[in-house]
Amino acid sequence: MHSFKELSAKFEQQFNHRQFPAQPANLYDASQYILGIGGKRIRPVLAMMGNELFDTLHDDSLLVGTAIELFHNFTLIHDDIMDKAPLRRGMPTVHTKYNDATAIMAGDVMLIRCYDFLNKVQPHIKTKIINVFNKAASEVCEGQQYDMDMEVMKPEDVQYNDYVNMIGLKTSVLLAAALQMGAIIGGGSEGNQQHLYNFGKNVGIAFQMQDDYLDAFGDPDKHGKQAGGDILINKKTFLLLKALDTCNPGQKEELHHLMDTNPADKVAQVLRIFKECKIDVWSEEEKESYKQKAIKSLEEIAVVSARKKPLLELADFLLTRQH
């Protein structure tokens, strides 16, 4: 068994070279470009950890990890086009550096490439691996569509549960599927695969909740983003939706007024209302509740506790950051 750092280094060693042919350069340079601007490679490590939970590390985990990392980057390229985002990790996005047409296709060939790697896993698990991958892949697209659907809705028309569902699809199912594919490679039973999947899904949702919390209440000096960036652009977050759900009519009216008029002290005013409604406390509790669900799923997996340590440590690491 290996630590996150060891697995991450192992993955980088085989991933960190050009993944695409030389020609046509205008296409494949664009695909390769996004792989070179960083990323924590957390999804491949999850696949490897899922494998090591049940058995020694198999090369299939690197293949599956590569496919997932390529898929993740494919979604970043296409999402950035849809969101018209100029920057990603401080660098120009693919469609900004090249153009929309090239970015669409740079994503397409990256998605196709995923299946080159999935096609190399051992035959007796290939069908199952591709099924799990494809279910997650479709769900990520569905999550992105629900997100776009919600973007044009008024915040008070978005149901909190629909929002949790969207976040789960958009950000968590790929983490969960990475773990499950690792479990398949390691020979975990169907039941244990499902527990591990649930662990990943709930960690993912808790992580997103923490992200929303830190954007509002975190220390901007630590997370390096604009304080209350989400509040400034009226972004639908766990906090805002819960506030609109639970605050009293006067507070709700005040929130709407702040979102409509964008006064200079908007962030401070919204944070004050959030605190009056105890959204900060609720948010911490809600995150903790998803974390506990995750840990419970992990506990239910029928392997000795020692094997679960890297996953537990990773969950702790991801869900206690202050920035």
Other CB atoms within 10 A of residue 84 CB: 10
Q: Tell me which amino acid residue 297 is.
A: S
Comparing C-alpha atoms, which of 283, 290, 255 is closest to residue 269? 255
Contact with a second copy (CB under 8 A): which of 53, 57, 105, 164?
Answer: 105
Per-position DSSP letters for 199-266, written without gaps between them: HHHHHHHHHHHHHHHHHHHS-HHHH-SPTTHHHHTT---HHHHHHHHHS-HHHHHHHHHHHHH--TTH
Q: Examine residue 134 and tell whether it contacts a second copy (CB under 8 A).
A: yes
Ranges within 223-252 binding a second copy (CB under 8 A) = none
Give the interface segment with a second copy, choosing from 40-48, 111-119, 202-210, 279-287 (CB under 8 A): 111-119
Identify residues 6-65 at the interface with a second copy (CB under 8 A): 23-24, 26-27
- Residue identified by tokens 């900004």 is 96
When asked if residue 104 is in the footprint of a second copy (CB under 8 A), the reply is yes
Question: From the list 2, 97, 126, 252, which residue makes contact with a second copy (rule: CB under 8 A)?
Answer: 126
116 touching a second copy, by CB under 8 A: yes
Closest separation in Å from C-beta 189 to a second copy: 22
Cα distance between residue 318 and residue 162, in whole Å: 24
Q: Please, which residues have CB within 8 angstroms of residue 227's CB and are 6 or more apart in sequence?
A: 220, 267
The one among 50, 107, 200, 228 contacting a second copy by CB under 8 A? 107
Q: Which two tokens stand for residue 88?
A: 């990603």
User: Minimum CB separation from a second copy for residue 131, in Å?
Assistant: 7
Q: Which stretch binds a second copy (CB under 8 A): 36-44, 78-86, 240-248, 262-270?
A: 78-86
> Rounded CA gap, 207 and 290, in Å?
9
Give the binding site for a second copy (CB under 8 A): 23-24, 26-27, 78, 81-82, 100-102, 104-105, 107-109, 111-113, 115-116, 119, 123, 126-127, 130-131, 134, 137-138, 141-142, 144-146, 148-149
